[in-house]
Amino acid sequence: MALFRFQTRNPNRDRETDAGRLQRLNRMLDDLRAEMERERNGLRDRYEKVAADAAFSQQALENDRVGAAMSSKIDDMTDIMIRYRGRIQSLEKQIGFVTDLHGQVEAFSQENAGESLSPVAARADRG
More confident residue, 2 or 68: 68
The pLDDT score that the predictor gives to residue 66 is 85
Do you know the residue count of the chain? 127
Residue 45 amino acid letter: D
- Check whether 106 has a pLDDT greater than 60: yes
Quick one: angle between helices 69-111 and 11-62, nearest 10? 160
Q: What is the mean pLDDT of the chain?
A: 87
pLDDT band (50, 70, 90) for residue 115: low
> Are the beta carbons of 55 and 77 closer than 8 angstroms?
no
Q: Of 52, 44, 45, 43, give the one whose Cα is nearest residue 74.
A: 52
More confident residue, 39 or 69: 39
For the chain, domain boundaries:
31-114
Q: How far is CA 104 from the centre of its chain?
A: 13
Please give the DSSP secondary-structure letter assigned to residue 5: G
> Are the beta carbons of 118 and 8 closer than 8 angstroms?
yes
The pLDDT score that the predictor gives to residue 11 is 85
Q: Of 6, 19, 7, 5, give the one whose Cα is nearest residue 116.
A: 19
109 burial level (CB within 10 Å; 0-12, 13-18, 19+): middle
Instruction: Report the range of poorest mean pLDDT among 5-14, 51-60, 90-99.
Output: 5-14
